[in-house]
Amino acid sequence: MPGRLDIDVKGFHLLLSDRTYIMGILNVTPDSFSDGGKFFDKATAIEQGLRMARDGADIIDVGGESTRPGAKETSAHEELGRIIPVIEGLREKVSIPISVDTRKARVAEESIKAGASIVNDVSALRHDPDMADIVSKHDAAVILMHMRGRPQDMQLNPIYGNLILDITNYLRESIDLALKHGIPRERIVIDPGIGFGKTVEHNLEILKRLDAFGVLGCPICIGTSRKSFISKVLNLPQTDTRLFGTLATLVIGILKGANILRVHDVKEAVQAARMTDSVLKQT
């Protein structure tokens, strides 16, 4: 893991070199794979965000478009209608960074104006040609995630020549794109995209070799929470039975160099992360 990986972004200093950070997932959607429709109402979504903050979340990631396998694209207008009231409501009540999970520059810009500090782009700046400029213009941080194809087709026979090398090269190209548009490396996080255009075996290999992405010199975020590969390994079909498997992947991720864990179950993830961090600090 190269040097210190702290991030300064819009008034927040994230000490990523000191401990693992927990990003709580807040899907304001009717069709997300795990909690679709559960927090679709503004008041319910805000209360869930406040609950995650009380449970120890370091970042709240608000999304208004499902990117589950097979999901159809949501219009910017609809996406904004879902998330802006929630971001505004949370910004008034929490003192932690808010991230917006979007591929669209317009959505990112309006979300930043409403109080978001981080853009979590599953397309790594490739879906919308204006995204990099918007992130740079507003001094936001960005999470660049690897995805093979699009949500509509990403799980159709994903094949790689060399999984880790292919992902590394893809992320390096997106980092270079971010730098070219004026986003400093100190505000860039990478995500290998577990579950996005990967088989079960691919996901397991990414976790096993996560430390290989340290060569890119950016903090690493992983999102394994409740994903289907856990069910396939453990033969547990329901998303609400995947907690223990998820926690195992989080601990492995930390041991392999993950800095940010994107999760649904914040309280449990905080405990797992704090325990793992405590062990790693022993000399």
Separation CA 105–CA 74 (nearest Å): 13
Question: Which residue in the block uniquely carries the two structure tokens 């990414």?
Answer: 206
Helix (H, G, I), strand (E, B) or coil at 29: coil
Residue 217 pLDDT > 70, yes or no?
yes
Report the chain's C-alpha Rg in angstroms: 17
Average pLDDT estimate for 174-196: 97
Q: DSSP secondary-structure letter at 139?
A: T
Q: Are 66 and 101 in contact (CB under 8 A)?
A: no
Highest CATH level, class, for 7-275: alpha beta
Residue 151 pLDDT > 90, yes or no?
no
Residue 73 pLDDT > 90, yes or no?
no
Average pLDDT estimate for 163-188: 97
Name the token pair of 106: 């317009």
Helix (H, G, I), strand (E, B) or coil at 63: strand
Angle at 73 between CA 53 and CA 31, to 5 degrees: 50
Binning pLDDT at 50, 70 and 90, where does residue 266 land? very high
What pTM did the predictor assign?
A: 0.93
Binning pLDDT at 50, 70 and 90, where does residue 236 land? confident
Separation CA 190–CA 6 (nearest Å): 13
Catalytic residue IDs: 227, 262
User: Which H or E element spans position 178?
Assistant: helix 163-180
Average pLDDT estimate for 112-141: 97
Binning pLDDT at 50, 70 and 90, where does residue 2 land? very low
Binning pLDDT at 50, 70 and 90, where does residue 4 land? low
Name the token pair of 224: 């394994």
Q: Are 260 and 189 in contact (CB under 8 A)?
A: yes
Q: Are 98 and 28 in contact (CB under 8 A)?
A: no
H-state helical runs in 41-159: 42-54, 76-91, 105-114, 131-137
**Domain boundaries in the chain?**
7-275
Average pLDDT estimate for 208-233: 96
Name the token pair of 2: 């190269």
Name the token pair of 25: 């997932």
Computed over every residue of the chain, the mean pLDDT equals 92
Residue 146 pLDDT > 60, yes or no?
yes
Name the token pair of 81: 């209608």
